[in-house]
Amino acid sequence: MGTYILQIFNGISVSSILMLAALGLAITFGLMKVINMAHGEFIMIGAYVTYLVQNLFIHLDKSLFGLYFVLAIPASFVVAAFIGFVLEGTVIRHLYNRPLDSILATWGVSLVLQQLARSIFGAPNVDVKSPGWLEGGLVLHQGLQLPYKRLFIIALVITCILGMFVLLYKSKTGRRIRAVMQNREMAESMGINTRRVDAYTFAIGSGLAGIAGCALTLLGSIGSTLGTNYIVDTFMVVVLGGVGKLIGTVAGGLFIGTANTTLEFYTNTSLAKVLVFLLIITFLQWRPKGLFNISSRSLDE
């Protein structure tokens, strides 16, 4: 039982990272109808920014090393958001409502970013050392210990989700974003600058992926293909939960992460992924729009 509880806990921590990465993808796809295959590379960018911040603190006073991860989180968000802002202004803005073209273009961008990472950091994976205050774990009873790293990841994701909830549902910026997602033409007629909304929403989504990459450095080594390993699961979370809905992203991420971990416990890794795919495909036959979807009305109505 202790082993199973630990497996479920690990699944929830991985689900948390999927939620964070999928949240930005769900919002940008719901807003722009752009399938961003380069979203995984923003996860990679966040991870490498964390690596650079770590190396910077290595050359400072050793007593300050434990603080590096606290600073790496906002740094990952800012750098990934800036690159996302530039990408949206140069490439994405020309691909609105053109999903097939967006797949090809952003896939090409992902290959460019991966090669750029290899050129800068090298082909081998690199490691990020966790700060001392994240070592060890919370002992519930003998044989059951919850690692502080994974507890911190869950707390970080909950904080980010609450922040996004406040942004989307309690602020003027969030009202503009939701208005554009529900009916772009009506939002434009009401004086909302949809071009600006697209730009900063894409930047925020990219920044969230950067934070997800920062969190992933606590779980293992990082490399140029880090984001590729998560992009499929991230898209599954978006499709299952429903495009553009915060609660849908949370529910979809929890289901995929915990289901994958539970099935791995009884079968193996490869078979578990196949079974999760089958469960999602079966569910989408019943609810093709996912668990939750945004209700909107056309101008004709």
**pLDDT tens-digit profile of 120-153?**
998 889 989 888 888 888 887 777 788 899 899 9
Considering the chain, what percentage of its residues have pLDDT values greater than 90? 23
Reported as a single tens digit per residue, the pLDDT across 165-199 is: 898 888 898 888 888 888 888 888 888 888 888 89
pLDDT value at residue 50: 94
pLDDT at 107 over 80: yes
Domain ranges in the chain are 15-229
Please give the Cα distance from 238 to 197 (Å, whole number): 21
Q: What is the CA radius of gyration of the chain?
A: 20
Q: Please list, residue by residue across 229-243, b when 16 or more beta carbons sit within 10 angstroms of its beta carbon and e when fewer do.
A: ebbebbbbbbbbbbb
- The rounded mean pLDDT for the chain is 84
In three-state secondary structure terms, 214 is helix
Reported as a single tens digit per residue, the pLDDT across 201-211 is: 899 999 999 99
Q: How far is CA 288 from CA 205, 212, 241, 275, 291, in A?
A: 24, 27, 10, 19, 9
Q: Considering only CA atoms, which of 191, 298, 238 is closest in space to residue 33?
A: 238
Please give the Cα distance from 119 to 142 (Å, whole number): 47
Which uninterrupted H or E stretch holds 161?
A: helix 148-169
Q: How confident is the model at residue 49 (pLDDT cuts 50, 70, 90)?
A: very high
pLDDT value at residue 1: 62
pLDDT at 53 over 90: yes
